[in-house]
Structure 1
Amino acid sequence: MRIAVLSDIHANREALDACLDHAGRAGAERFAHLGDYVGYGADPGPVLDVVRDHVARGAVALRGNHDEAAAGGEVSMNGMARAAIAWTRARLDDGQRGFLAALPYAAEEAGTLLVHANGWAPSDWGYVTCCVEAERSLARTAARVTLCGHLHVPGLYHQAPGRPAAAFVPVPGEPVPLMASRRWLAVIPAVGQPRDGDPRAGYALLDTERGTLTVHRVAYDVEAAAAKIVAAGLPRRLAERLAQGR
């Protein structure tokens, strides 16, 4: 089975549509959403409606920190993120807020642990930024493969028995064999707000039959997404950073 894994859409409908179109052409049979559907972007409602439709058809969807904040939770954020969440809350209906509030922090899919942030404390929103944190996450689960988002920067960690974890940045479009002799943790690129200097939207395709993970980067209409942010009265910096991939 080919599972399209998406994270950090951040209310960017243009980026989401581009990734879904690409995933369909790549043969995706199922979707797994790792959270942060809202915040930063100008289309929280339409994005949530797409995700809710996927869930109704059997997809996995998890809670991210921005989702928790939009549903009324107390989450530590910088001023720009808080402003976007305040704007977002006013534009969600009761059904959308209820959907966010009911989302789980973690799930297993095809023997793979899915979380938004990490495996050691999924509801505390700690980032996986290095091998030490990847090892900490892997140590808290029996799953051989863990997939997370949250960082907005893609990375792939692997650990052989009795060895420290190692890391590399996957090449877009190149399948990575998830060798059974190692444990793996992948940080999925952001759909709606990449921060690795590449403005293209990102997602991953997990092929459970071949045992591979492929990161994809997809061009989308950045100018349209940015224009919506400005027109909505959200902080202009949120629009500017889309073209910069930062």
Structure 2
Amino acid sequence: MKLAVITDLHANREAVEAVLNHAHAQGAERFAFLGDYVGYGADPGWVVDTVRRYIADGAIAVGGNHDAGVAEAPSPNMRPEARVVLEWTRAQLDADQLAWLQGLPLSKTDGDMLFVHANAFAPAEWEYIQGRIEAVRSLHATTCHYTFCGHMHEPKLFHLSGTGKAGDFVPTPGIEIPIPSLRQWLIVPGSAGQPRDGNPAACYALFDTDEQTLTFQRVPYDFELAGAKIREAGLPVRLAERLAHGQ
């Protein structure tokens, strides 16, 4: 089975549409969404409703910190511009959409796979996987061999051997990577809606569960239109500008 893993969609309709179309063209049979459906972008309602339709068809979904911030209250560590967007976003969504965001689980297990937005060791505290130390801590918190998490907007792959030896690397898009279950793996697909590694193309990952291979994908999209919508909505201009630079 080919599983498309998509995270940090951030209300970016143009990016999400491009990623979904690309994933279907690559033969994706199932989808997993790792949270932050809202925040930063100008199309929160469309993204929420789209993910809900995929869930009705069997997709997996967990919640992120921006989703919790809109449905409940923003984290005290959240930046001022993010808070502004969350207040705006809350006004764009109806009661049913807000209730859906509030009801999202923090993590979900499916067979030998764990799906979570931030990390496996303390999902509700939204700590980032900054490097090997946090990655190993996260892998030690689960018996699953495959952990998929978002929150970090840059693609990264970590692994841990049975003897405790850890490693990590930045993947090359489009290159199939063997990830056998002899090791534990932590996969950070990168952000679909707001990449931050200097490349504006949207990110996602495709996991072939039968072959145990992983491919990180980059998908060009109309970031100029997405940015124009942000400006038209009266949201912080910097949020539109960063889309063009992948920052």
TM-score of the pair, normalised by structure 1: 0.98
Residue type of the alignment partner of 2:241: E
Give the Cα separation in 1 of the matches to 2:115 and 2:208: 15
CA deviations over 1:207-231 (Å, ceiling 9, x no partner):
1011011110000001000000000
Shift of 1:183: 1.0
Question: Mapping of 1:81-92 within 5 angstroms?
Answer: 81-92=82-93
In structure 2, list runs of 5 or more residues that go unmatched. none
Change (3 A) 1:114 1:4: same
Question: Mapping of 1:28-177 within 5 angstroms?
Answer: 28-76=28-76, 77-177=78-178
SS at match of 2:67: helix
Give the Cα separation in 2 of the matches to 1:224 and 1:40: 14
Give the Cα separation in 1 of the matches to 2:86 and 2:19: 24
Give the Cα separation in 1 of the matches to 2:74 and 2:82: 13
Give the Cα separation in 2 of the matches to 1:63 and 1:235: 24
Shift of 1:74: 4.1
Q: Report the counterpart of residue 18 of structure 1 in structure 2.
A: 18
Q: Say if 2:15 is the partner of 1:27.
A: no
SS at match of 2:147: strand
Aligned residues: 246
CA deviations over 1:44-82 (Å, ceiling 9, x no partner):
000101001011111111100000001023423110100
Give the Cα separation in 2 of the matches to 1:181 and 1:35: 28
Residue type of the alignment partner of 1:214: T
Give the Cα separation in 1 of the matches to 2:110 and 2:84: 34
Residue type of the alignment partner of 2:80: G
Shift of 1:241: 0.2
Q: Report the counterpart of residue 239 of structure 1 in structure 2.
A: 240
SS at match of 2:204: strand
Q: Is the 8 A contact 1:110 1:208 kept in 2?
A: no
Give the Cα separation in 1 of the matches to 2:200 and 2:47: 19
Give the Cα separation in 1 of the matches to 2:25 and 2:193: 20
Give the Cα separation in 1 of the matches to 2:165 and 2:132: 8
TM-score of the pair, normalised by structure 2: 0.98
SS at match of 1:4: strand
Shift of 1:4: 0.7
Residue type of the alignment partner of 1:21: N
Runs of 4+ in 1 over 2 A off after TM superposition: none
Residue type of the alignment partner of 1:149: G
Choose 153-162 or 90-99, whichever is displaced more: 153-162
Residue type of the alignment partner of 2:131: C
Give the Cα separation in 1 of the matches to 2:94 and 2:4: 27
Q: Report the counterpart of residue 201 of structure 2 in structure 1.
A: 200
Residue type of the alignment partner of 2:107: A
Give the Cα separation in 1 of the matches to 2:111 and 2:142: 15
Give the Cα separation in 1 of the matches to 2:74 and 2:150: 20
Give the Cα separation in 2 of the matches to 1:241 and 1:74: 22
Residue type of the alignment partner of 2:4: A
Q: Report the counterpart of residue 215 of structure 1 in structure 2.
A: 216
Q: RMSD of the alignment, in Å?
A: 0.8
Q: Is the 8 A contact 2:3 2:207 kept in 1?
A: yes
Q: Is the 8 A contact 1:157 1:185 kept in 2?
A: yes
Give the Cα separation in 2 of the matches to 1:89 and 1:72: 10
Give the Cα separation in 1 of the matches to 2:111 and 2:157: 19
Residue type of the alignment partner of 1:26: Q
In structure 1, list runs of 5 or more residues that go unmatched. none
Shift of 1:164: 3.0
SS at match of 2:186: strand
SS at match of 2:217: strand
